[in-house]
Amino acid sequence: PGVPSEMKEMMQDGVVPYLAAKVRNKDIIRSKVLKMLGIGESEAEGKIPPSLLHCSNPTLGLLAKEGEVHLRITAKFPPEVMDDKIKQVEDDLRDKLGDYIYGVNEQSLEGIVAFWLRKRKLTIAVAESCTGGLISHRLTNMAGSSNYFYCGIASYSNQAKIDLLGVDESLIKKKGAVSLEVAQKMALGARISANTDLGLGITGIAGPTGATDKKPVGLVYIALSSQAKHIVQEFIFSGNRERIKWRASQAALNMLRKYLVGSYEFSS
């Protein structure tokens, strides 16, 4: 038909009912991906009840992806019950996997962090050594980041840590630039110098050089400072320089996320 209105009428009154009558099974297929951090594929699988893991509908599929684990729920049901069916499985999985799940589908870690910083009306400054500005880059990739992100300091050299963040030179000489204590001082220095609610500090050895017997390539310390208390944690990452930097940024953002949603207990 040459007239659009005629074509529309024919489709609605003729073609669509004809095709619908021919299709006996009106089920649709839909998937939802739960994204996890801080847990390995085998550990995640071990937390999922066998009744869910081996169910034929919906089915579950685990995929390790660059430091993350993605869990895909795929279901085949009529449209009118699809949302409820997927939600039932998702609720069961969230009950077992808890805050390892940081987002779903196309959500990004930095997007989730941005959401919670805005929701809690908190500001942050970042001091980076081994990641060289990657964390700041990811946080400022989000629209409206000026509402929560004050500044990022790529304090790669020891002198920058001293001059810009107030880290004591004696502490660096005693403990080393890559140490728990220096990470704490970097986070504190970033927060105080920027007058923000939170300060994030990260220092490590991305490699391939710079390692010692006691401090191998991939060793990273990440600290988060609030006005009264702090978190600090040690990590060991494998891979080349680029991968270590990426995984370190993931761990730092995940630490921040867990604090923002109330999953971390601060030490005094």
Structure confidence by residue, pLDDT tens digits, 18-52: 877 776 668 999 999 999 999 999 999 999 999 99
Residue of 174, 119, 137, 107 lying closest to 252 (CA atoms): 137
239 and 204 belong to one structural domain = yes
What is the structure's pLDDT at 15?
A: 85
Q: What percent of the chain has pLDDT over 90?
A: 86
24 and 126 belong to one structural domain = no
66 and 163 belong to one structural domain = no
Domain membership flag for residue 268:
no
Q: Which of 104, 129, 164 is the last residue of a domain?
A: 104
Say if residue 265's pLDDT is above 80: no
Q: Which of 77, 104, 131 is the last residue of a domain?
A: 104
134 and 246 belong to one structural domain = yes
Q: How far apart are CA 256 and CA 236, in angstroms?
A: 18
What pLDDT, in 10s, does the model give residues 168-211? 999 999 999 999 999 999 999 999 999 999 999 999 999 999 99
Q: Which of 50, 83, 104 is the last residue of a domain?
A: 104
Q: What percent of the chain has pLDDT over 70?
A: 96
φ, ψ for residue 26 (rounded to 5)?
-95, 15
Residue of 261, 263, 265, 172 lying closest to 221 (CA atoms): 172
Domain membership flag for residue 46:
yes
Reported confidence tier of residue 98, pLDDT bands at 50, 70, 90: very high
Domain membership flag for residue 72:
yes
Domain membership flag for residue 220:
yes
What is the structure's pLDDT at 19?
A: 74
Domain interval for residue 25: 18-104
Average pLDDT, the chain: 94
161 and 188 belong to one structural domain = yes
260 by Cβ neighbours in 10 Å (0-12 / 13-18 / 19+) ranks as: buried
Q: How far apart are CA 256 and CA 113, in angstroms?
A: 7
Say if residue 77's pLDDT is above 60: yes
Q: How far apart are CA 190 and CA 183, in angstroms?
A: 11
Residue of 91, 87, 135 lying closest to 113 (CA atoms): 135
At 144, which amino acid appears? G
Q: How far apart are CA 155 and CA 127, in angstroms?
A: 6
55 and 123 belong to one structural domain = no
- Could you tell me which residues come within 8 angstroms of residue 249 by beta carbon, excluding any fewer than 6 positions away? 131, 134, 135, 138
Domain membership flag for residue 9:
no
Based on the structure, what is the number of domains in the chain?
2
Residue of 175, 174, 199 lying closest to 189 (CA atoms): 199
92 and 126 belong to one structural domain = no
Residue of 24, 17, 11, 19 lying closest to 78 (CA atoms): 24
What pLDDT, in 10s, does the model give residues 121-174? 999 999 999 999 999 999 999 999 999 999 999 999 999 999 999 999 999 999
137 and 196 belong to one structural domain = yes
Q: Give pTM, 2 decimals.
A: 0.88
Reported confidence tier of residue 268, pLDDT bands at 50, 70, 90: very low
Q: What CATH number is given to the structural domain containing 214? A: 3.90.950.20
Domain membership flag for residue 4:
no
165 and 253 belong to one structural domain = yes
28 and 158 belong to one structural domain = no
User: How many CB atoms are closer than 10 A to CB 25?
Assistant: 7
Domain membership flag for residue 1:
no
Cβ pair 53, 2 in contact under 8 A: no
